[in-house]
């Protein structure tokens, strides 16, 4: 299973098409989009709109990501070290992309080597993020529940995922 590094101690899960569309609609130019996440309200808006989910406070290391669905678990309860609920995500191109958050300093540097692309049907999802060790591997389980309409956002932006 492919692993990626937690650049700047975090990751971002995002929909490339919707993020590009948001940046164009709000006239946010350039390749350094990390500044829009940390310097003004655009980061909160992008997150609350289901375009991107930040995963911060992650020990610097390599991690795997897997999607699970309602009623299915990859991590057993005793393997879960950190968990956060209330996230929303909108898939637009039958996929979601995950990259170390540091790559948002220059989005032109994102490629297949330093990112993970996971298949996800189009539409709205509510997400529960579970982090832990599975068979000696550091893993983020993204529990996705399909929704008919845009779900309410209640994710905790201050959740950290430090675990060993």
Q: For residue 102, is it within any domain?
A: yes
Q: Give the residue numbers spanning the domain of 84.
A: 4-147
Q: How confident is the model at residue 164 (pLDDT cuts 50, 70, 90)?
A: low
Q: For residue 153, is it within any domain?
A: no
DSSP, res 20? H
What is the total count of domains within the chain? Answer: 1
* Ordered DSSP codes for 56-103: ES--SSEEEEEEEETT--SS-GGGEEEEEEEEEEEESSSEEEEEEGGG
Q: For residue 155, is it within any domain?
A: no
Distances (CA, A) of 117 to 29, 82, 112, 135: 24, 23, 8, 22
The pLDDT assigned to 116 comes to 98
**CATH number of the domain residue 44 falls in:** 2.60.34
Vertex 87 angle, CA 82 and 93, to 5°: 120
The pLDDT assigned to 8 comes to 95
Q: For residue 101, is it within any domain?
A: yes
Q: For residue 20, is it within any domain?
A: yes
The pLDDT assigned to 113 comes to 96
What pLDDT digit, counting tens, does each position of 33-80 carry?
999 888 889 999 999 999 999 999 999 999 999 999 888 999 999 999
Residue 15 pLDDT exceeds 70: yes
Q: For residue 161, is it within any domain?
A: no
What pLDDT digit, counting tens, does each position of 31-43 carry?
999 998 888 899 9
Please tell me the distance from the alpha carbon of residue 2 to that of residue 14, in angstroms, as a whole number.
18
Q: For residue 157, is it within any domain?
A: no
What pLDDT digit, counting tens, does each position of 100-142 carry?
999 999 999 999 999 999 999 999 999 999 999 999 999 999 9
Within 10 angstroms of residue 111's Cβ, the number of other Cβ atoms is 9
Residue 149 pLDDT exceeds 70: yes
The pLDDT assigned to 19 comes to 96
Q: For residue 152, is it within any domain?
A: no
Please tell me the distance from the alpha carbon of residue 153 to that of residue 84, in angstroms, as a whole number.
12
Cα distance from N-terminal residue to C-terminal residue, the chain:
19
The pLDDT assigned to 39 comes to 86
């Amino acid at each position: 299973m492919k692993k990626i590094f937690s650049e700047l101690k975090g990751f971002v899960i995002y929909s490339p098409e919707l993020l590009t569309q948001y940046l164009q609609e709000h006239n946010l130019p350039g390749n350094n989009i990390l500044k829009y996440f940390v310097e003004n309200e655009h980061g909160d808006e992008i997150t609350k709109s289901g375009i991107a989910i930040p995963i911060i406070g992650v020990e610097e290391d390599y991690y795997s990501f897997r999607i699970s669905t309602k009623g299915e678990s990859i991590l057993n309860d005793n393997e879960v070290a950190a968990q956060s609920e209330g996230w929303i995500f909108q898939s637009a191109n039958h996929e979601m992309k995950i990259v170390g958050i540091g790559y948002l300093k220059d989005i032109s540097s994102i490629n297949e080597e330093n990112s993970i692309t996971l298949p996800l049907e189009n539409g709205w999802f509510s997400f529960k993020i579970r982090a832990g060790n599975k068979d000696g591997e550091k893993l983020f389980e993204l529990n996705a529940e399909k929704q008919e309409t845009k779900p309410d956002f209640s994710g905790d932006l201050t959740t950290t995922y430090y675990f060993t």
